[in-house]
Amino acid sequence: MAQLSPILKQATPVVVDHGEGAYLYDTSGRRHLDFTAGIGVTSTGHCHPKVVQAAQEQVGKLIHGQYTTVMHRPLLELSERLGEVLPSGLDSLFFANSGSEAVEAALRLARQATGRPNVVVFQGGFHGRTVAAASMTTSGTRFGAGISPLMAGVHVAPFPHAYHYGWDEKTATDFALRELDYLFATQTAPQETAAFFVEPMLGEGGYVPANSEFMAGLRRRADEHGILLVMDEIQTGFGRTGKFWGHEHFDVHPDVVLIAKGLASGFPLSGIAASRDLMGKAWPGSQGGTYGGNAVACAAALATLEVIREENLVDNAAARGRQLLDGARAVGDKTPGIGDVRGMGLLVGSEFVTADGAPDNATAQAVQKKAAEKGLLLLTCGAYMNVVRMIPPLVVTSEQIDEALDIWGEVVASVAR
């Protein structure tokens, strides 16, 4: 009998039978409060009836209309609808399946459109696991270990991770921008730099929000040197941060936005958005793929957008996010072993540290495991995997946040210092 490869490492032992809203039900019938949402994917909750209905109807009409062969209605409609929510001027879309593919698509676009070879990424950023995306990932050596040589042409500048540096936000931001200028002087000349790839908040890198001054600094340098500002909204998009896009918190206008995860409520669908002018600079026909823009995934994405609007999920993410952050901070305040609690909207991380302030991976893992035993599913992140993160669906209720915080408080008190 064949088995799943140990290449896959699972965070919990749960074998799911079905999901509904914020809950997963395992094969023994036990209910779990899912504050992982499939790593920030099932924003409308598991199996939202409208998403299910849209997908079921589409399955009966057309499952796969290969998009370099024929065009289909869900893809055309989705492009139109996304135009209503994307930043102004980003009116041209290309679709793929995974976040990593969107990152690679943007890399191709940036290199072809500018004719420049290099990109700058920011320390702690995560952009995916395919080799180019892994080459641009610095949230942990584990993502690139053992697969070298990685892609050349990637340069890494600091992210304003104030807690990590032990500085205030302003000092960390000044440092990050100064080092970026130094990088231009020492590693990749601006005229050889095609793009900045940045997340509005480090996701896998430990749930660290950027800030307006940092983003303004990137925008200024991008404008000055003709560098593209590529915003990786794969984890932060579609209302997750309490605004539709994570970068809206920082009042910055990107040249390219990367989308995936929350876009289609669990169907594999990703994309990149840019201006028609910029997309027109890529080589025509240079991108494609067998499955990109799958008809069922697009129908699910259309339903997802409708649900986000009808149920005011962006506002709910903001309100429930505040409740979650406040509650997690209250637990953090009375726990010396939690050094920092931070986040935006429904992305909240608690960083575990030892008495001397070093990353405490063991306690974070123990807390995550114990929470799962008590019916609360969580994930860890950060370079040292010492940040426990909460990513409930956007449909989460106030009662479910309280339920999670009760378990969290109890588990932290029993496991951490």
Least Å from the CB of residue 39 to ligand PMP: 5
Least Å from the CB of residue 139 to ligand PMP: 9
Q: Which of 125, 105, 121, 102 is nearest to 113 (CA)?
A: 105
Q: Which is nearer to ligand PMP, 211 or 235 (CB)?
A: 235
Q: Which is nearer to ligand PMP, 204 or 360 (CB)?
A: 204
Q: Which is nearer to ligand PMP, 235 or 363 (CB)?
A: 235
Per DSSP, what are the bridge partners of residue 193? 118
272 to 98, 104, 134, 332, 382: CA distances (angstroms)? 11, 10, 18, 37, 26
For 178, half-sphere exposure in the C-beta direction (CA atoms, 13 angstrom radius) is 6
Least Å from the CB of residue 40 to ligand PMP: 7
Q: Which is nearer to ligand PMP, 119 or 411 (CB)?
A: 119
Least Å from the CB of residue 236 to ligand PMP: 7
Least Å from the CB of residue 199 to ligand PMP: 5
Q: Which is nearer to ligand PMP, 210 or 407 (CB)?
A: 210
Q: Which is nearer to ligand PMP, 99 or 293 (CB)?
A: 99
Q: Which residue is nearest to ligand PMP (CB)?
A: 99
Interface residues with ligand PMP (CB under 6 A)?
Answer: 39, 98-100, 103, 126-128, 199, 203-204, 232, 234-235, 260
Q: Which is nearer to ligand PMP, 234 or 282 (CB)?
A: 234
Least Å from the CB of residue 133 to ligand PMP: 7
Is residue 149 reached through a cis peptide bond, with omega within 30 degrees of 0 on the bond before it? yes
Least Å from the CB of residue 350 to ligand PMP: 18
Q: Which is nearer to ligand PMP, 219 or 389 (CB)?
A: 389
Q: Which is nearer to ligand PMP, 298 or 415 (CB)?
A: 298
Least Å from the CB of residue 5 to ligand PMP: 17
Q: Which is nearer to ligand PMP, 199 or 351 (CB)?
A: 199
The C-alpha atoms of residue 216 and residue 270 are separated, in whole angstroms, by 27
Least Å from the CB of residue 106 to ligand PMP: 11
Q: Which of 201, 209, 234, 245 is nearest to 85 (CA)?
A: 245
Q: Which is nearer to ligand PMP, 103 or 162 (CB)?
A: 103
Least Å from the CB of residue 312 to ligand PMP: 25
CB 376 within 8 A of CB 25: no
Cα three-residue angle 353-33-4, rounded to 5 degrees: 85
Q: Tokens 């209905």 identify what position? A: 53
Least Å from the CB of residue 146 to ligand PMP: 19
| Single-letter amino acid code for the residue at 353 | V
